[in-house]
Amino acid sequence: MTVTAIIQARMTSSRLPGKVLMPVLGEPLLLHQLRRLQRANTIDRMVLAITEKAADDPLEAFAKRQGLPVFRGSENDVLARFAGAAETCTPEADVIVRVTSDCPLMDPGIVDSQVGWFLDHRDDYDYATVGPELRLPCGTSVEVFTREALMTAHAKAVTKHDREHVTPWIKNPDNGLRNGITPIDIDAPDVRLSVDEEADFEAVSAIIEALYPVNPDFTLGDVLAFLEAHPEIAAINSDVTQTTGPYAVKPVRAK
């Protein structure tokens, strides 16, 4: 089976505009992510899925410099953007890996573990990710699903939430698709490695600046060991609130 990672990105982030091209060690944050994903043995191809807005022209230029296929689609209907990217840029793909561009410290070994588990259980599941109990640090997981699941969701999902966040329709058990949970032996859900705010960028930059020059192939284990030895770095973004995805803080309802 052919596996394609579709990376969703845009320059108009509400909390930290232009974050994916902000430089760390003189290179865009997105380039650091691409290099790490390129080391994942289970991914055959990568596509950058960006918006049609002029603000994303620098992202298209970046993709062309890297020889990376790029698809431009709706800013808010990200599900349609994913479907368009799959149809236009990677029609041969059987399996799609969803990646968000605000996760530059993804570990290729963990990506291989998640994708490999899905491929080994392809006859049993249409979608898989870690969870529902959070184990990995925020910003280090991927979602894996079949091309058929993506296209079915694109054809049937109607709510704004389902269209904007790509996979909620697929994960909804009422829609009849089979969801799997990929095993993981790491337990560090309180570590934040996603980049949404300036504090996140500062923390992630400090990690890359410390580890990359010594070993460009550093792992999540190396990151966790570094943060344990340098709690002042982990504290930089410890107060940032995640607003989307499984790590989002749920509001407490009054009884």
Examine the domain organization and report whether 63 and 170 are in the same domain.
yes
Residues spanned by the domain of 52: 3-181
The answer to whether residue 245 is domain-embedded is no
Query: In the predicted model, is pLDDT for residue 254 greater than 50?
Result: no
Query: In the predicted model, is pLDDT for residue 252 greater than 70?
Result: no
Examine the domain organization and report whether 44 and 112 are in the same domain.
yes
User: Given this model, what pLDDT does residue 165 score?
Assistant: 96
Q: Are strands 127-129 and 179-181 parallel, antiparallel or unpaired?
A: parallel
At residue 228, φ and ψ (nearest 5 deg) are: -65, -35
Examine the domain organization and report whether 161 and 98 are in the same domain.
yes
Contact partners, residue 37, CB within 8 Å, separation at least 6:
5, 7, 43, 46, 99, 106, 108, 111
Query: pLDDT, tens digit, for every residue of 21-49?
Result: 999 999 999 999 999 999 999 999 999 99
H helix or E strand, kind and range, residue 61? helix 57-65
Examine the domain organization and report whether 81 and 145 are in the same domain.
yes
Examine the domain organization and report whether 177 and 202 are in the same domain.
no
Sequence-separated contacts (24+) of 54-58 with Cβ below 8 Å = 55/10, 55/11, 55/12, 56/9, 56/10, 56/11, 56/12, 58/11, 58/21
* Mean pLDDT of the region 166-195: 95
User: Given this model, what pLDDT does residue 74 score?
Assistant: 98
d(CA 178, CA 200): 34
b/e map 101-118, b = 16+ CB within 10 Å? bbbbbbbbbbbbbbbbbb
User: Given this model, what pLDDT does residue 156 score?
Assistant: 98
* Mean pLDDT of the region 238-247: 79
Examine the domain organization and report whether 86 and 211 are in the same domain.
no
Examine the domain organization and report whether 177 and 203 are in the same domain.
no
Examine the domain organization and report whether 173 and 203 are in the same domain.
no
User: Given this model, what pLDDT does residue 247 score?
Assistant: 67
Query: In the predicted model, is pLDDT for residue 190 greater than 50?
Result: yes
* Mean pLDDT of the region 213-234: 98
The answer to whether residue 172 is domain-embedded is yes
Tokens of 204: 């992630």
Query: In the predicted model, is pLDDT for residue 180 greater than 70?
Result: yes
Number of folded domains in the chain? 2
Instruction: Please report, as a single letter, which amino acid is at residue 18.
Output: G
Contact partners, residue 231, CB within 8 Å, separation at least 6:
none
* Mean pLDDT of the region 55-80: 98
The answer to whether residue 186 is domain-embedded is no
Tokens of 38: 């390129």
Examine the domain organization and report whether 160 and 205 are in the same domain.
no
The answer to whether residue 192 is domain-embedded is no
The CATH number for 144's domain is 3.90.550.10
The answer to whether residue 241 is domain-embedded is no
Examine the domain organization and report whether 33 and 142 are in the same domain.
yes
Examine the domain organization and report whether 69 and 133 are in the same domain.
yes
The answer to whether residue 85 is domain-embedded is yes
Examine the domain organization and report whether 126 and 229 are in the same domain.
no
* Listed residues 181, 215, 244: the one ending a domain: 181
Instruction: Please report, as a single letter, which amino acid is at residue 95.
Output: V
Which pTM value belongs to this model?
A: 0.94
User: Given this model, what pLDDT does residue 248 score?
Assistant: 65
Query: In the predicted model, is pLDDT for residue 204 greater than 70?
Result: yes
Give Dmax over CA atoms of the chain in angstroms.
55
User: Given this model, what pLDDT does residue 250 score?
Assistant: 45
Locate tokens 């600046």: which residue? 209
Query: pLDDT, tens digit, for every residue of 109-147?
Result: 999 999 999 999 999 999 999 977 878 999 999 999 999
